[in-house]
């Protein structure tokens, strides 16, 4: 970890120092507490508006943090979610992250114009793997600037990275202005696991938050991710997870 920080200090001198202490682990005591930490997600490529509409209705009924959707649903979802307290989250560069920085920035600006309050962008995994840190930094900063008022989450696709690369991506994301560093798209070779969440939290400390996403299908999964440092969870099995509290899932 310290070697990674030292290597990145040429871009960010402050990266050589350990980050601020992280917040204490979230400990939800009810279904409502947990729902407030969940991005209720629909990102299947075959999903249509009826399913996106139902996802929004479910997110409202359960009082989730957000409904996370594909860009083409943004404008209509904004109208549905308006005034509900549930944020609209739109993905950018999804799911592979291979768009140019200019394309990602444009997509983020358009999503924000259509009402997105949160942006989940996929980093250029190839650039991160080959150590092109300036490119990774630049594209995240471009999206940050294009959607300045939105919560920004940077997806690393951790299953494709070594532990060293996960730490590098997390630190770069935090110093580029991300609000969260996120494990996975859910479309890669693997999803979130406790070891990766704990590693990302150690890397960023209190500089930004951590979102666990991909394969979270049980209450045990969800609570385990929170216990090791996640501050947000992305899932489609939200109602199933919340119902495991043994109480109503409404708020």
Q: What is the pLDDT of residues 187-245, one digit of tens each?
A: 999 999 999 999 999 999 999 999 999 999 999 999 999 999 999 999 999 999 999 98
Domain boundaries, the chain: 30-243
Share of the chain above pLDDT 90, in %: 88
Question: Given this model, what pLDDT does residue 64 score?
Answer: 98
Which of the following is catalytic: 104, 153, 166, 211? 211
pLDDT at 1 > cutoff 80: no
Q: Which of 104, 153, 166, 182 is an active site residue?
A: 182
Q: What is the mean pLDDT of residues 156-183?
A: 96
Residue 97 has pLDDT above 80, yes or no: yes
The CATH superfamily label for domain 30-243 reads Aldolase class I (3.20.20.70)
Average pLDDT, stretch 87-99? Answer: 98
Q: Is 182 a catalytic residue?
A: yes
Length of the chain: 251
Whether 251 shows a pLDDT value over 70: the answer reads no
Known catalytic membership, residue 120: yes
Output phi, psi for 51, to 5 deg: -70, -40
Please, which pLDDT band fits residue 10 given cuts at 50, 70 and 90? confident
Which of 39, 120, 179, 209 does the annotation list as catalytic? 120
Q: Is a pLDDT exceeding 90 seen at residue 166? A: yes
Position 16 pLDDT exceeds 80: no
């Amino acid at each position: 970890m310290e070697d990674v920080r030292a290597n990145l200090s040429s871009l960010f001198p402050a990266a050589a120092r350990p980050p601020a202490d992280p917040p204490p682990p979230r400990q939800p005591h009810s279904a409502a507490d947990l729902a407030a930490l969940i991005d209720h997600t629909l990102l299947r490529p075959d999903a249509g508006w009826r399913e996106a509409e139902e996802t929004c209705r479910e997110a409202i009924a359960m009082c989730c943090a957000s409904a996370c959707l594909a860009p083409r649903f943004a404008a209509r979802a904004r109208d549905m979610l308006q005034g509900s307290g549930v944020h609209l989250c739109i993905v950018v560069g999804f799911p592979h992250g291979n768009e140019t920085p200019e394309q990602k920035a444009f997509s983020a600006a358009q999503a924000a114009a259509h009402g997105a309050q949160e942006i989940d962008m996929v980093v250029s995994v190839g650039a991160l793997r080959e150590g092109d840190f300036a490119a990774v930094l630049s594209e995240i900063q471009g999206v940050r600037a294009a959607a300045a008022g939105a919560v920004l989450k940077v997806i690393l696709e951790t299953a494709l990275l070594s532990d060293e690369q996960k730490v590098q991506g997390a630190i770069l994301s935090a110093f580029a202005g991300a609000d969260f560093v996120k494990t996975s798209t859910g479309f890669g070779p693997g999803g979130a696991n406790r070891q990766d969440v704990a590693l990302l939290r150690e890397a960023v400390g209190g500089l930004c938050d951590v979102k666990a996403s991909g394969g979270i299908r049980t209450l045990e999964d969800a609570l385990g991710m929170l216990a090791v440092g996640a501050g947000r969870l992305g899932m489609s099995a939200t109602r199933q997870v919340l119902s495991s509290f043994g109480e109503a899932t409404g708020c």
